Structure 1
Amino acid sequence: MLCHTLFILHFFIFITLILPSLSLPSQNVTLFGDASYTDTAISLTKQQLTCLSSSSSTSGIGRAFYLYPVRFLDPLTNSTASFSCRFSFSILSSSSCPSSSDGIAFLISSTTDFSSFSNGYMGLPNSDKDSYFAIEFDTSYDPSLGDINGNHVGIDVNSVVSFASVDVLSRGVDLKSGKIITAWIEYRDDMKMIRVWVGYSSTRPLTPILASLIDLSEIFKEFMHVGFSASNGKGSSIHLVHDWKFKTLSYSHFVSPIDDVEEGDCFLCYAGDSKASKKKGENFRREKFGEIALGIGGITAFVVSALALGVMIYVILKRKKGGVIRKIKESQSCRFQTNKVPVRLSLSEITSATMGFNRDRLVGEGASAKVYKGSLQFGGDVAVKRFEKVDDLDRLHNPFATEFATMVGCLRHKNLVQLKGWCCEENELVLVYEYLPNGSLDKVLHRNSSSSVVLSWNQRVNIILGVAAALTYLHEECERQIIHRDVKTCNIMLDADFNAKLGDFGLAEVYEHSCSTRDATIPAGTMGYLAPEYVYSGVPTVKTDVYSFGVVMIEVVTGRRPVGDDGTVVGDYVWNLWKQNRLVDAADPKLRGEFDVIEMERMLLVGLVCVHPDYEKRPRVREAARMIKKEAPLPLLPTTKPRVRIKPICHNDTPETQSFVDDWVSTEEAPYLTPKSQFN
Structure 2
Amino acid sequence: MLCSSLPPLFFFLLIPSVLSFPLFSSDNLTLYGDAFFSHKAITLTTHQPTCSSSSIGRAFFIYPLRFLDPQTNSTASFFSRFSFSILSSPSCPSGEGLAFLIASSTHFPALSMGLPQPSPNSTSFLAVEFDTNFDPSLGDINDNHVALDVNSASSFASVDAFSRGIDLKSGKLITAWVEYRHAIKMLSVWLAYSSTRPSTPILVSQIDLSERLEDFMHVGFTASNGKGSSDYLVHHWQFTTFGHDSRSMDVIDEGDCFLCYEGDSTDFGHGSNMRVNERKKKIKEMALGLGGLTAFVVSVLAAMIVVCVFLTRKKGVVRKNMEQRQSCGTQTSKVPTRLSLSEIKSATMGFNRDRLVGEGASAKVYKGYLPFGGDVAVKRFQRQKDLNCLHNPFATEFATMVGYLRHKNLVQLKGWCCEGKELVLVYEFLPNGSLNKVLHRNFNSSMVLSWRQRENIVLGVAAALIYLHEECERQIIHRDVKSCNIMLDADFNAKLGDFGLAEVYEHSCSRREATIPAGTMGYLAPEYVYSGVPTVKSDVYSFGVVVLEVGSGRKPVEDDGSVVVDYVWSLWEKGKLIEGADPRLMGKYDAVDMERMLLVGLLCVHPDQSKRPTVREAARMLNKEAALPLLPPVKPRLRIRPISPQTHHVLGDCLNTDEPPYFTPRSHFY
Correspondence for 1:30: 29
Q: Are the structure 2 counterparts of residues 367 and 30 from structure 1 closer, same or farther at C-alpha, using a change threshold of 3 Å?
A: same
Which of 561, 575, 589 is the matching residue for 2:583? 589
Matched, 1:449 2:443: yes
Correspondence for 1:425: 419
Correspondence for 1:487: 481
Which amino acid is the alignment partner of residue 662 of structure 1? H
Which of 183, 196, 216 is the matching residue for 1:250? 196
Correspondence for 2:72: 146
- Offset at 1:411? 3.4
User: Residues 226-261 of structure 1, C-alpha deviation per residue, up to 9 Å, x if partnerless?
Assistant: xxxxxxxxxxxxxxxxxxx999953233674589xx
- Matches of 1:107 and 1:533, distance apart in 2: 51
User: Residues 95-119 of structure 1, C-alpha deviation per residue, up to 9 Å, x if partnerless?
Assistant: xxxxxxxxxxx999xxx89xxxxxx
SS of the residue 1:177 aligns to: coil
The answer to whether the 8 Å contact 1:89/1:180 transfers is no
Correspondence for 1:440: 434
Q: Are the structure 2 counterparts of residues 275 and 544 from structure 1 closer, same or farther at C-alpha, using a change threshold of 3 Å?
A: same
SS of the residue 1:459 aligns to: helix
502-511 vs 403-412, which moves further: 403-412
Superposition pairs of residues 538-549 of structure 1, within 5 angstroms: 538-549=532-543
Q: Are the structure 2 counterparts of residues 392 and 250 from structure 1 closer, same or farther at C-alpha, using a change threshold of 3 Å?
A: farther
Q: Are the structure 2 counterparts of residues 392 and 341 from structure 1 closer, same or farther at C-alpha, using a change threshold of 3 Å?
A: farther
Q: Are the structure 2 counterparts of residues 473 and 352 from structure 1 closer, same or farther at C-alpha, using a change threshold of 3 Å?
A: same
Q: Are the structure 2 counterparts of residues 431 and 30 from structure 1 closer, same or farther at C-alpha, using a change threshold of 3 Å?
A: same
SS of the residue 1:550 aligns to: helix
The answer to whether the 8 Å contact 1:248/1:291 transfers is no
SS of the residue 1:424 aligns to: strand
SS of the residue 2:652 aligns to: coil
Correspondence for 1:572: 566
Q: Are the structure 2 counterparts of residues 439 and 269 from structure 1 closer, same or farther at C-alpha, using a change threshold of 3 Å?
A: closer
Correspondence for 1:408: 402
Correspondence for 1:13: none
Which amino acid is the alignment partner of residue 564 of structure 2? V
Correspondence for 1:525: 519
SS of the residue 1:493 aligns to: strand
Correspondence for 2:225: 274
- Matches of 2:356 and 2:371, distance apart in 1: 19
The answer to whether the 8 Å contact 2:77/2:181 transfers is no
Superposition pairs of residues 219-298 of structure 1, within 5 angstroms: 250-253=196-199, 256-257=202-203, 268-269=221-222, 273-274=224-225, 278-280=229-231
- Matches of 2:528 and 2:149, distance apart in 1: 32
User: Residues 165-224 of structure 1, C-alpha deviation per residue, up to 9 Å, x if partnerless?
Assistant: xxxxxxxx99872346662359xxxxxxxx9751422544359xx9746699xxxxxxxx
Superposition pairs of residues 280-319 of structure 1, within 5 angstroms: 280=231, 302=285
TM-score, normalization: structure 2?
A: 0.59
- Offset at 1:278? 4.1
- Offset at 1:638? 0.6
SS of the residue 2:76 aligns to: strand
SS of the residue 1:524 aligns to: coil
- Matches of 2:26 and 2:202, distance apart in 1: 33
- Offset at 1:397? 2.7
The answer to whether the 8 Å contact 1:339/1:412 transfers is no
Which amino acid is the alignment partner of residue 389 of structure 1? R
- Matches of 2:409 and 2:342, distance apart in 1: 31
Which of 334, 353, 357 is the matching residue for 1:359? 353
Superposition pairs of residues 314-325 of structure 1, within 5 angstroms: none
Q: Are the structure 2 counterparts of residues 433 and 487 from structure 1 closer, same or farther at C-alpha, using a change threshold of 3 Å?
A: same
The answer to whether the 8 Å contact 2:531/2:667 transfers is no
- Matches of 2:620 and 2:201, distance apart in 1: 43
Superposition pairs of residues 37-52 of structure 1, within 5 angstroms: none
Correspondence for 1:662: 648
- Offset at 1:377? 1.1
- Offset at 1:351? 0.2
- Matches of 1:253 and 1:529, distance apart in 2: 39
174-183 vs 451-460, which moves further: 174-183
Which of 365, 387, 390 is the matching residue for 2:384? 390
What stretches of structure 2 of length at least 5 have no aligned partner? 1-20, 43-55, 80-115, 130-146, 160-178, 186-190, 206-218, 236-262, 266-276, 292-330, 656-663
Which of 174, 178, 186 is the matching residue for 2:121? 178
- Matches of 1:572 and 1:658, distance apart in 2: 30
User: Residues 518-556 of structure 1, C-alpha deviation per residue, up to 9 Å, x if partnerless?
Assistant: 110010110100000000000000000000000000000
- Matches of 2:117 and 2:537, distance apart in 1: 31
SS of the residue 2:515 aligns to: coil
Which amino acid is the alignment partner of residue 75 of structure 2? G
The answer to whether the 8 Å contact 1:197/1:204 transfers is yes
Q: Are the structure 2 counterparts of residues 342 and 658 from structure 1 closer, same or farther at C-alpha, using a change threshold of 3 Å?
A: farther
- Offset at 1:450? 3.0
State the Cα RMSD in Å.
Answer: 4.8
Matched, 1:205 2:205: no
User: Residues 8-29 of structure 1, C-alpha deviation per residue, up to 9 Å, x if partnerless?
Assistant: xxxxxxxxxxxxx99xx99596
- Offset at 1:588? 0.4
Correspondence for 2:325: none
Which amino acid is the alignment partner of residue 648 of structure 2? D
- Offset at 1:662? 2.9
Which amino acid is the alignment partner of residue 395 of structure 2? A
The answer to whether the 8 Å contact 2:528/2:538 transfers is yes
Q: Are the structure 2 counterparts of residues 267 and 508 from structure 1 closer, same or farther at C-alpha, using a change threshold of 3 Å?
A: closer
TM-score, normalization: structure 1?
A: 0.58
The answer to whether the 8 Å contact 1:549/1:610 transfers is yes
The answer to whether the 8 Å contact 1:522/1:676 transfers is no
Correspondence for 2:253: none
Q: Are the structure 2 counterparts of residues 625 and 522 from structure 1 closer, same or farther at C-alpha, using a change threshold of 3 Å?
A: same
The answer to whether the 8 Å contact 1:554/1:571 transfers is yes
- Offset at 1:601? 0.3
SS of the residue 2:638 aligns to: coil
Q: Are the structure 2 counterparts of residues 383 and 274 from structure 1 closer, same or farther at C-alpha, using a change threshold of 3 Å?
A: same
The answer to whether the 8 Å contact 2:435/2:487 transfers is yes
What stretches of structure 1 of length at least 5 have no aligned partner? 1-20, 32-36, 43-66, 70-87, 91-105, 114-122, 126-133, 148-152, 159-172, 187-194, 217-244, 260-265, 285-289, 309-336, 649-656
The answer to whether the 8 Å contact 2:479/2:519 transfers is yes
Correspondence for 2:343: 349
User: Residues 94-143 of structure 1, C-alpha deviation per residue, up to 9 Å, x if partnerless?
Assistant: xxxxxxxxxxxx999xxx89xxxxxxxxx546xxxxxxxx4x5x9xxx5x
Which amino acid is the alignment partner of residue 76 of structure 2? I
Correspondence for 1:381: 375
- Matches of 1:362 and 1:429, distance apart in 2: 16
Q: How many residues were matched structurally? A: 455
The answer to whether the 8 Å contact 1:391/1:427 transfers is no
Determine what percentage of the aligned residue pairs are the same residue. 57
The answer to whether the 8 Å contact 1:341/1:410 transfers is no
- Matches of 1:552 and 1:625, distance apart in 2: 13
- Offset at 1:391? 3.6
Q: Are the structure 2 counterparts of residues 339 and 556 from structure 1 closer, same or farther at C-alpha, using a change threshold of 3 Å?
A: farther
- Matches of 1:626 and 1:484, distance apart in 2: 21
- Offset at 1:586? 0.4
Which of 458, 462, 472 is the matching residue for 1:464? 458
The answer to whether the 8 Å contact 2:204/2:403 transfers is no
- Matches of 1:299 and 1:445, distance apart in 2: 57
Correspondence for 2:7: none
Which amino acid is the alignment partner of residue 253 of structure 1? S
Correspondence for 1:155: 76
SS of the residue 1:545 aligns to: helix
Q: Are the structure 2 counterparts of residues 523 and 661 from structure 1 closer, same or farther at C-alpha, using a change threshold of 3 Å?
A: farther
Which of 636, 639, 649 is the matching residue for 1:642? 636
Q: Are the structure 2 counterparts of residues 204 and 471 from structure 1 closer, same or farther at C-alpha, using a change threshold of 3 Å?
A: closer
